[in-house]
Structure 1
Amino acid sequence: MSVPILYVVLAVAALATAAVVAAPLRRATPKLFAAVVLVVPVLAFALYRIVGTPAALDPALAAASAQADAPTMEEAIAELEAALRRDPAQPEGWRLLARAYAAQGERAKSRDAFMRALEQIPDDPELLIETAQARAQAAPGNQFDDEALAQLRRALALDPGNQRALWFIGVVQRQRGDDRAAVETWETLLPALDADTAAALRTQIDQAREAAGMPPLAPAEVASVSADDGAAPGAGLRVRVSLDPEFAARVRLRGDATVFVIARAAGGPPMPVAVERHALQSLPLEVVLDDGDSPMPTAKLSSLREVEVLARISATGSANRSEGDLESAPVRLALPADGPVDLVIGAQAP
């Protein structure tokens, strides 16, 4: 299929999807309906430019596309901002805007947009968790404040056993030096996890136990709290990201450079279904990609059977893809994954 035809197909599909998602708004708020139908496809194509595969396009067509007057991510965000100024009573619009801000690294704006959404739907557990996480990410040292903790506890009250809420509550307890409480929280979470994720959490539990003056989990205790491992789906996709040692030895990289960890549908649209942003100095690092990392509310990691995962160092620190960025080889795998995915940036192709 030629690139122009492909763009037409993608545009039609994006418009159709946006129209279906925004259909409930058609009668109540026709102006916002029109804005969402316009903005969602624009955001989708902007995200494609961030994490797509331009090398697969013909160079001449790619150059022509770059020069075209196509909407940018910033323009798409501006359109959504304008729509919400006209009609702010749209929680899903605020949630979409918050995720777009997060993808751009605008953490304070992301926090504030999530708060606007939460004002309108205060009993949505996932939104409560996203808002608490956004508050921490916008705070010095990624510290969860009292309001964020209250949001996490509210989410857990609405959805008992919510894995992300339990995990973050344990993180808050560790941040505040209440290591014994963190142990109790995380041990409650253990039985719901798959074997690999549970093993990683046990490491955190043992560190918290040591800080609390408690012995590590004995083998019998491990067997007890892990008896149900594998009975429930994992909390997300574990990804380990590192730099190739030889590459790191010969190339000087800024420690504050930005690393994006990305999951997208395998064989499908190139837009991300989950993305996290970290500092290069954090490598090697291990993250868990899940539905909370989705930049688009209509595309969830948990809804996919197969994904492609990659890590990218941004040369500019911007979410927009640019010349000079470095990527790991993409890894394709089925979900749920049996174990963590290893991504090595700078490794020579075999």
Structure 2
Amino acid sequence: MVNTTTAIFAALATALTLGVLGWVLWPLWRRPRGPLLASTLALGLAVLALYRLVGTPAALQEAALAAPQTLEQAVVQLAGELQRNPAQPEGWALLGRSQAALGDHAAARDAYARAVQLAPDQPALLVDAAEARALADPQRRFDEQAVAWLRKALELHPGHSRATWFLGVWQRQSRQPAEAAATWASLLGSVDADTARSLRVQIDQARAEAGLPALPESAAAPVDAPHALTVNVALDPEFAARARLRGDAVVFVIARVPDGPPMPVAVERHTVAALPLDVVLDDGDSPMPTQTLSMLQEVEVFARISTGGSAERDAADLESPAVRVSLPASGPVHLLIGGQQP
């Protein structure tokens, strides 16, 4: 009994480590892998250390020969455990990640489907399951079920980046390039500059297929995004000459609840060198998915030059006068830093 239990633990620990490895290697846009792989290895060691602290180390040593020696064996053992105790959505998700990492995309698709049956309201799981269905398709296409899961994920978590990206992929696969371009454009305000440049290439290709011109440089979201708010930010020239601001100083464009908490409902980060600039704030710019622009009828909009580069306000920071705006806005909001508000 001890040997069996320990072997099952080893299988689950191995699958957990493998699952995390798969997760960190498949973000929407790839990043340098060294730190991520080191973190994954650290997690695996932490799992083992935790077991040695609270488990039964002697039993672990006794069962060493019974523990799986390969990833394939670990997956087989995890699948067997789930057959005996199937009401474990996390276990099915781990099995799906592990099977996908081993190249068995059909099995991964089925494992994720079981996980979604047990936990149908988890956006990240819905997106993973949709991706698994596409990977299992010979042409890597998102089918009707996968698209339904993506749309549900976006209902539960508006602005979910991977769900938004995959929905755009499906739209382009379905010969809806204009819709794909608009969907992907909603991500521009929530990614870093390097990612935005790569994403704009995909957007412009889709727009070209639709017979549309390239996306304007100032565009950060589609104009028909729910409650999207166009904001023009400028710096008073006389003030700029006196203040001698550094070009790399950080500028935050912020929308928040009027007379409410200081936490923004939408925010974008830029630099003084980019002023004057036009941005589009939308749900993708929200740091809190539980409160987005599309949920509000009125916001307070302002711009802040941060002396320390932090989003938290400092006494030395410079702000434009705040402007109250009813949503959806009838036109752009103009903000002036260091001068009289227009």
TM-score (norm 1): 0.48
Q: Which protein has the larger Cα radius of gyration, Structure 1 or Structure 2?
A: 2
Higher relative contact order at CA 8 Å, sep ≥6: structure 1 or structure 2? 1
